[in-house]
């Protein structure tokens, strides 16, 4: 085997979500309203405490990093501290690491930035300590808090921040970025492949790019089959077939389709629930059937969240649909 055969193809040994992470606010796609407001803060050099909320993979961390780069230029890392609250949840982190960074001397900038990712993972005590720290060092530190659920952040912190609610990225934004990366990496991306990536991502750019990179390992052509297999995502038509069979009263066929998804394709029960919820209004169902299905999905999701067996709850969902008059 030649040396060329053993070496990874150019770009495949890098993490694409980092390689193609936008460096400036203007490069962030799908969040134009938010980036315009952030750009105005940067231009005036008047940054308040910020809170970014929204699901994963939609640009919250990227926006925080871009703000730091535009404020501080090449020296941005000297004035930027990133902490992940899900890994470092204790009150000691707030009291020690944040205070140490806030108190340390620095030059050439009016204030430094502390970026606290997954801030909704902080305990209540840690959040209370954070609030006091925000007050104590407000003259020389700005906090950027990132969270999935702003409701998990205590009100005294929210009231001290300008809150930005990031929306899931539109299909067009995800498709455009994926096509750009595929072209840069020399990957042939089929039309059904791009549709599958957009569907599997569900507004999450990180998931789309990771899916593209993982699927590209199998060859230079990425199609729907590769995407669905690598992302453990059920095809929309499989979900629709399962639901239609149950609504038609054929529980045995619906259960067989579910078994294929869980056992042969290795899809998690929670992911099946998520796909069911996403797809309800895409099915050819009348309004009454859609409402019934949503009610059953909500009940099954709650029970699974509380620790019930996924397979049993999904089968019970299909059984209830099959028995419904």
In a domain, 19, yes or no: no
> Judging by beta carbons within 10 Å of its beta carbon (0-12, 13-18, 19+), is residue 285 exposed, middle or buried?
middle
**How buried is residue 277: exposed, middle or buried, by Cβ count under 10 Å (0-12/13-18/19+)?**
middle
Structural domain containing residue 254: 236-323
pLDDT category, 196, cuts 50, 70, 90?
very high
Report whether 130 contacts 93 (CB < 8 A). no
| Tokens coding 1 | 């085997």
β pairing state of 80-84 and 112-117: parallel
* pLDDT tens by residue, 20-62: 999 999 999 989 999 999 999 999 988 999 999 999 999 999 9
User: Which of the listed residues 147, 165, 183 is the one where a domain comes to its end?
Assistant: 165
138 assigned to some structural domain:
yes
Confirm whether 5 is domain-assigned. no
Clarify whether residues 199 and 212 are in a common domain.
Answer: yes
Crossing angle between the packed helical segments 251-259 and 310-323, to the nearest 10 degrees: 150
Q: Which DSSP symbol is given to 246?
A: H
Sign of CA pseudo-dihedral 8, 27, 120, 101: positive
The verdict on 121 and 61 lying in the same domain is: yes
CA–CA dist 276, 294 (Å, integer): 9
* pLDDT at residue 87, as a whole number: 64
What CATH number does residue 299 fall under? 1.20.272.10
Q: Which of 230, 249, 267 is the last residue of a domain?
A: 230
Partner residues linked to 147 by β-bridges: 53
Specify if 69 maps to a domain.
Answer: yes
Residue that is written with structure tokens 């407001």 in the block: 37
The last residue of one of the domains, among 119, 146, 165, is 165
Count the domains in the chain.
3
Q: Which residues of 63-81 are buried (b: 16+ CB within 10 A; e: fewer)?
A: bbbbbbbbbbeeebeebbb
Is residue 93 predicted with pLDDT exceeding 70?
no
- What pLDDT, on the 0 to 100 scale, is given for residue 219? 73
Radius of gyration for the alpha carbons in the chain, expressed in angstroms and rounded: 23
Please check the confidence at residue 64 and state whether its pLDDT lies above 90: yes
Q: Are residues 146 and 180 in the same domain?
A: no
Mean pLDDT of 156-177: 93
276 and 176, same domain (yes or no): no
Give yes or no: residues 249 and 183 share one domain: no
Instruction: Provide the CATH number for the domain around residue 178.
Output: 1.10.8.60
Range in 113-117, 177-181, 288-292 with the lowest mean pLDDT: 288-292
């Amino acid at each position: 085997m030649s040396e060329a055969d053993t070496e990874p193809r150019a770009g495949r040994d890098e993490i694409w979500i980092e390689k193609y992470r936008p460096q400036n606010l203007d490069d962030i796609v799908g969040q134009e309203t938010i980036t315009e407001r952030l750009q105005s803060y940067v231009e005036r050099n008047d940054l308040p405490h910020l809170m970014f909320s929204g699901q994963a993979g939609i640009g919250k961390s990227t926006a925080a990093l871009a703000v730091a780069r535009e404020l501080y230029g090449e020296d941005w890392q000297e004035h930027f501290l990133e902490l992940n609250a899900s890994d470092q949840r204790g009150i000691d982190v707030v009291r020690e690491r944040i205070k140490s960074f806030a108190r340390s001397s620095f030059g050439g900038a009016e204030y430094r930035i502390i970026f606290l990712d997954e801030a909704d993972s902080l305990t209540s005590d840690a959040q209370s300590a954070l609030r006091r720290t925000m007050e104590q060092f407000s003259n020389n530190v700005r906090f950027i808090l990132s969270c999935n659920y702003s409701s998990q952040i205590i009100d005294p912190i929210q009231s001290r921040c300008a809150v930005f609610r990031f929306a899931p990225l539109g299909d067009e934004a995800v498709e455009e970025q994926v096509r750009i990366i595929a072209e840069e990496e020399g990957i042939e991306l089929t039309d059904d492949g791009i549709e599958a990536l957009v569907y599997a991502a569900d507004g999450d750019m990180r998931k789309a790019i990771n899916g593209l990179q993982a699927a590209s390992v199998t060859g230079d052509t990425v199609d729907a089959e590769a995407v669905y297999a690598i992302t453990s995502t059920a095809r929309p038509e499989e979900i629709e077939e399962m639901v239609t069979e149950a609504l038609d009263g054929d529980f045995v066929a619906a259960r067989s389709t579910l078994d294929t998804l869980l056992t042969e394709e290795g899809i998690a029960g929670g992911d099946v629930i998520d796909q069911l919820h996403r797809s309800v209004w895409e099915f050819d169902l009348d309004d009454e059937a859609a409402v019934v299905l949503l009610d059953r999905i909500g009940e099954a999701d709650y029970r699974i969240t509380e620790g019930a067996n996924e397979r049993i709850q999904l089968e019970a969902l299909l059984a209830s649909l099959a028995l419904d008059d």
